[in-house]
A and B are shown apart, each in its own frame.
Chain A
Amino acid sequence: MSATVDERISDELEALEAILMNDVVVKKVNDVPEIIETVVHPSTGDDVDQQFVCVTLEVRLTPGYPDISPEVTLRNPRGLDDEVLKSIYTQIKRKLLDCLGQPVVFELIELIRENLTESNLPSGQCVICLYNFVEGDVFIKTQCYHYFHSYCLASHLIAGQKYYQEEVDKLPSWQQMQAPQYQTCPVCRCRVTCDVEVLKAAPPPVDSITAPPFCLTAELKALQVKMSALLARQVARGGVVGMGDNGPPPLTITSPSDNDGGSTSQEADKAEALASARPHTSSENAPGSPQARPVYRGPYRGFNRRGKPGRRGRGGPAAGSR
């Protein structure tokens, strides 16, 4: 032990490790503790299933700690909205001032735990349906602390299974065995293991029963007019896909799964239809899937050379982590 550590700090660490055991991580540089990290949960006794929120507390010990306040960060909040987090931060600031000169980590953990216990309910919306969680809703917390209506998560998992099966069916049989199947969380893409059969028996979100009708506002109509005028100008200049092409060499499609490379007349028809500003009115006429062709799947959809679903990702985790 060459480095000298303030006795107040070493006592604090010892106590933390004795009480939290594996739940606390102390990162040291040259034997000097620098960062203390722990995940804080609400107090629910030992009932882990009833913990709907959590947050990771990171305390960076400044060189003068505890005579100087440490830097405190809350990371990976789960089930907590921004208002709650803001309020916890404000309380932490006050606590740090109050405790200047003495170890503060336990106090912080307690403070955060109290707050979490108070807001131990999923807040915000189910990202799948955008309805709030209300009294009577049946919902589920995944292992990664994301909440969904059971009904909504079931739909997602069933859709995922269907997609997976379609992709597997395209593979030669020797490869089918190798394609791993797993279900992922819509928010963070962590693996989830849920019983779809149980989930899908849940009722739909309470608030979903009555959706107000949709109507176009004057503002929307004005935007539509502006857009179709722009489109008409672009069409007139040959700037629309599928129209006569006298620009630089046309882009070629080289994907093997693309079997419509030669049929430009269809595309021209389609462009004409668009040019006359008549939007498609049914799902059969969705972009990229005119009736005469099989449903558009996109040239790159499917398994890559290593037999894993999809291509290597560009996008990272899905949006909106809560």
Chain B
Amino acid sequence: MAALPRRIIKETQRLMQEPVPGISAVPSETNARYFHVIVTGPEDSPFEGGLFKLELFLPEDYPMSAPKVRFITKIYHPNIDRLGRICLDILKDKWSPALQIRTVLLSIQALLSAPNPDDPLANDVAELWKVNEGEAIRNAKEWTRRYAMDN
């Protein structure tokens, strides 16, 4: 593997030295471009209490192209599909090299606080979120309890 750009090293160090509350990101032992991530479900969201595992990969041309991120832990959310893929503009056409790993993870955390059923990736979840928010939130809590709690 080519030498790791200092940008990635600096980002990694900063993630360790000034961790983002509720988020941990650790590079893999064998590939410093691959991060194991845990995002804590935000307070007052249906995901509260959950520990969500994600994987994040910095492609060869990072930061010119966005990191690739997906959920590994199952999550009931209108903008995250059943393969864990995330519908988030900054991961696609709104990516900018001024964004960093930490900003991406913060945006994902914010997405958990504010699901957006009008811009869905998981259509049936979004549909339920729109017609019966109460039930959708119950489902989300149930999935969180069942799959993302650590006890």
Instruction: Please give the residue numbers on chain A whose beta carbons come within 8 Å of chain B beta carbons, in ascending order.
Output: 127-131, 152, 155-156, 158-159, 163, 167, 184, 186-187, 189, 207-208, 211-214, 216-217, 219-221, 223-224, 227-228, 230-231, 233-234, 237-242, 245, 247-255, 267, 271, 274, 279-283, 286-289, 296-302, 309-311, 313-315, 318-320
Residue B46 lies at the interface, judged by CB distance under 8 Å to chain A: no
Residue B137 lies at the interface, judged by CB distance under 8 Å to chain A: no
Instruction: Please give the residue numbers on chain B whose beta carbons come within 8 Å of chain A beta carbons, in ascending order.
Output: 3-12, 16, 24, 26-34, 36, 38, 51, 53, 55-57, 59-61, 63-65, 68-74, 76, 80-85, 87-94, 96-100, 103, 107, 116, 119, 121-125, 139, 142-143, 146-148, 150
> Which of these, A211, A237, A283, A311, contacts B5 with CB under 8 Å?
A211
Chain A CB count within 10 A is highest, among B27, B36, B59, B76, for B36
Q: Are B64 and A156 in contact (CB under 8 A)?
A: yes
Q: Are A130 and B98 in contact (CB under 8 A)?
A: no
In the complex, besides A281-B30, A314-B88, 13 extra interface pairs with C-beta distance below 8 angstroms are A127-B98, A224-B28, A231-B53, A237-B146, A239-B73, A247-B142, A251-B80, A252-B123, A271-B72, A281-B34, A310-B92, A314-B94, A315-B107
Q: Are B30 and A252 in contact (CB under 8 A)?
A: no
| A254 with B97, Cβ < 8 A, contacts A227-B38, A247-B143 known | no
Neighbouring B residues of A320 by C-beta, 8 Å: 98, 103
Q: Are A230 and B53 in contact (CB under 8 A)?
A: yes
Give complex CA distance A167, B57 in Å: 23
Q: Are A159 and B61 in contact (CB under 8 A)?
A: yes
Neighbouring B residues of A248 by C-beta, 8 Å: 76, 139, 142-143
Q: Are B11 and A130 in contact (CB under 8 A)?
A: yes
> Which of these, B72, B89, B98, contacts A231 with CB under 8 Å?
B72
| A253 with B103, Cβ < 8 A, contacts A130-B7, A238-B147 known | no
Q: Are A280 and B57 in contact (CB under 8 A)?
A: yes
> Which of these, B24, B81, B100, contacts A251 with CB under 8 Å?
B81
Taking the closest CB of chain A, its distance from the CB of B75, in whole angstroms, is: 9
Give complex CA distance A220, B16 in Å: 8
Q: Are A286 and B27 in contact (CB under 8 A)?
A: no
Q: Are A129 and B5 in contact (CB under 8 A)?
A: yes
Give complex CA distance A35, B107 in Å: 35
